[in-house]
Amino acid sequence: MKYPNGVKKEFKYLKSYANRGMNLEDDLNITNKYYLDNNIAVIYKKPTPITINKVNYKSRKDAVITEAHFKVPSTTDYNGIYKGNYIDFEAKETKNISNFPLNNIHKHQIAHLKKIFEAGGIGFLIVRFSKLNITYLLFIQDLLFFIENNTRASIPKSYFDEKGYTIKNGINPRLDYLEIIEKFGGII
C-alpha cells in the first residue's frame, strides 16, 4: 500500500506497460473519471463503509481516526447517472477460470440490485476472470434468473458467455461498460 516512491513508480510503469496487475477497481475508476470529464456520465465508487470507534482531535482539522472497523456493505460499490438513467453495480474479480463463486457477493447486495431494478434503475454485475483477462457485464435480471433456477454456489463461465456481455478493453475509456448499457440496458 505504502511503497517508497521509487518502488511505486517502477510498479506503476510495469503495470501500465503490461497491464497485468492493473486491477478491476483501478480500471473502473479511470473509466468513470473519463465519463465524468467528458460529460458522459456521473458514476462514483462509494467510500468503504466503516464504523468509527475512536477519533483523536488534536485540532479540528487534524482529526485522526485511531480505531475503526470494516462494515459489511449494505449496498453495492458503484452508482450514478447516465443519460438520466440510474446506474448501480457491483464489481468483482475472480482467479477462477471456469466459474464465479456466488459467495463473492453478499446476499443483501443482490437484494439491493433487485430493488434497483424494480424501481426502474439499471443494475448489474461486472465480473472479471483475471487469469483469462475477460470482463463480463451481467444484468441483475440474468443474475436473478440464474439464482432462481440453480442450486449451484457458483455461476459457470459459460453462463456469462450466454447471458452476459464482454466489456472491451480500451485506452479511453479503459473499460467501456456504458457501451453495453447503451445497447442493451434498456435506457430511456
Binding positions for its own copies, rule: CB under 8 A: 2, 36, 39, 41-42, 44, 46-50, 52-53, 63-71, 74-75, 79-86, 88, 112, 115-116, 118-121, 188
Q: Which residues contact 145 (CB under 8 A, 6 or more apart)?
A: 163
Residue 61 gets which letter from DSSP? T
CB-based contacts of 69, cutoff 8 Å, min separation 6: 50, 51, 53
Nearer to its own copies by Cβ, of 86 and 146: the residue is: 86
Nine cell digits for residue 50:
466503516
How far, in Å, CA of 88 to CA of 76, rounded?
7
DSSP state of 104: G
Distance CA 128, CA 169 (A): 12
Task: Report how far apart, in Å, the C-alpha atoms of 112 and of each of 79, 84, 129 are.
Answer: 12, 20, 24
Give the max Cα distance, the chain: 57
What the block records as the C-alpha cell of 187 is 435506457
SS3 assignment, position 3: coil
Nearest distance, CB of residue 9 and its own copies, angstroms: 20
